[in-house]
Amino acid sequence: MATLAQRGAGTLGTRFFTIMAFVMAGVIVAGFTFNLAMGRSSFALPLAFHVHGMIFMGWLGLYLAQVVTIAGGNRALHIQLGKLAYLWIPAMVAAGTMIIIVSARTSGGPFFFAKNEFLVSNLAGLWAFGGLALWALRTQRYTGWHRRLMLVAMSILTGPGLGRLLPMPLFIPNAWTIAILLTFIFPVIGMIADKRRDGRVHPAYWWGLGIDAGVFVISMVIAYSPLGYAFTEWVVAGTPGAERPMEAFLPPGFSM
């Protein structure tokens, strides 16, 4: 009976993480699709944006393949795909860093975000994703840690999707903080599910969400320090991004 109960709990847990993976991926895809449909973005972008997009969308495919293979009991394929992730995650961090800097230099980032927030805190969040995702890979033998750390890592990537689905200009001057706080919803849902199912929250959530939140707070402190302002001005110096205000603003004639 005990063995059957453990198997039942494992099946329930796997189903939960599969659903959460598809929900998070859906949020990301929906955000970018919505932006295209509204005419806020297009495929007529420099090559760097396309490279970034292909790498990140490729990761979504790999992540979903991972949850599907483990849910289907194909552990061998799951492990093989995990080896590919060791290469893909650093590629994502590199491509993400590139596109954040390119965006900052091209336009200063979205107007509803402060330029220093977009650059400093965005980079910190991206690197936090990379660190948590690689940590998750290193704990593959410990399923509880592995899938929870990966869920927290993936929740960080939902920020751009959420930001494209919500009326961010209405949230100025707190748009960046609101966008980041909303990404915490996914790990919190996981914590609630743990509490309801097991009577306790797995420590992987406390560590993962604690690191995520801690990186965000520290990144904001740095962004609004003399060092953060100086770094931002140095990155955008001599580019069109230097011409927009440091703080979030509404462009002349802007309307929702």
pLDDT at 33: 86
pLDDT at 71 over 60: yes
256, pLDDT greater than 70 = no
pLDDT at 218 exceeding the cut of 60: yes
pLDDT(7) > 60: no
Task: Give the pLDDT band (50/70/90) at residue 4.
Answer: very low
Instruction: Using the predicted structure, report yes or no on whether residue 8 has a pLDDT greater than 60.
Output: no
* pLDDT single digits (tens) 107-156: 999 999 999 999 999 999 999 999 999 999 999 889 899 999 999 999 99
Buried b (16+ CB within 10 A) or exposed e, 24-61: bbebbeebbeebeeeeeeeeeeeeebeebeebbeebbe
What pLDDT does residue 14 have? 86
Report how far residue 200's alpha carbon sits from residue 218's, in angstroms, rounded to the nearest whole number: 28
pLDDT (tens digit per residue) in 225-246? 999 999 999 999 999 999 999 9
Residue 75 in this model has a pLDDT that exceeds 80: yes
Instruction: Spell out the residues 6+ positions from residue 104 whose beta carbon is closer than 8 angstroms to its own.
Output: 115, 118, 119, 232, 235, 236, 241
Residue 183 scores a pLDDT above 70: yes
Work out the mean pLDDT of the chain and round it to a whole number.
Answer: 90
Backbone angles phi, psi at 235, to 5 degrees: -65, -40
